[in-house]
Amino acid sequence: MKPAVATNEAALIARIVAGENELFHELIRPYERLVYVTIFAIVKNETEAEDGAQEAMISAYRNLKSFRGEAKFSTWLVTIAMNEARKRLRKAKTKAEDSLDEPAEEREGDYTPAVLTDWREIPLAALERKELKEKLREAVGRLPEKYREVFVLRDIEELNQEETAAALGINVTLVKVRLHRARMMLQKMLVPYLKSEAPLLGQGKPARGGFFRGWFQ
């Protein structure tokens, strides 16, 4: 029988706090990926991310008593992971600076997507999906930190807006604004690598969605 992931998390936590410490393994099993990927996407280094994930989990274990259940356990855990990632990034930053300047929050209008006025302008750098993922990871890594944090939680980890806001200690409006900007920046960075839909040439107006339809084939 599979270990019951569905076991009531709150009950599991209560048992751990009451002394059944080894159940902590079970508690965090569904979140191993969440914690690692969150940290990796911020620190951009596998070894750092793995060390960070271990530290975050240990910290969660040591502080489990202070988890009161107002937030979801996953949100609480991701907050710890994000703090660990930030701590490591600050250390690393003494060596290397972010490649992009952080734009001022108030400035508007700088977050326009790359516009394809004519689909034939898309370079024919049709990358394999594997290479595309590499490009995507690079592009995410180049986002300014505050945008990257929101993007990681919303679009990589698929936390909802409220959970993301709680994990980052910002309000929901700011989550929306930063997420939109992050997505537009990524769109701009990645459009050169998208595959164009050559067979549409000469068939008149391409169907909606046709530009990138072949992308995942």
Q: In the complex, which residues of this chain contact other proteins (CB under 8 A)? A: 16-22, 24-25, 28, 32-33, 36-37, 40-41, 46, 50, 53-54, 57-58, 61-65, 112-117, 119, 129, 132-133, 136-137, 140, 151, 155-156, 158, 176, 179-180, 183-184, 186-187, 190-191, 194, 205-206, 208-209, 211-212, 215-216
- d(CA 13, CA 19) in angstroms, rounded, equals 10
| Helix/strand/coil percentages in the chain, nearest 5 | 65, 0, 35
Q: How far, in Å, CA of 136 to CA of 123, rounded?
A: 17
What's the closest the beta carbon of residue 15 comes to other proteins, in angstroms?
8
Give the nearer residue to other proteins in terms of CB position, either 65 or 95: 65
Query: Between 30 and 98, whose beta carbon lies closer to other proteins?
Result: 30
Tell me how far apart the alpha carbons of residues 174 and 166 are, in angstroms, rounded to a whole number: 12
Say how far apart CA 192 and CA 128 lie, in whole Å: 13
Nearest residue (CB) to other proteins, 65 versus 68? 65
* Residue (14 or 97) nearer to other proteins, CB: 14
Angle at 180 between CA 174 and CA 190, to 5 degrees: 145
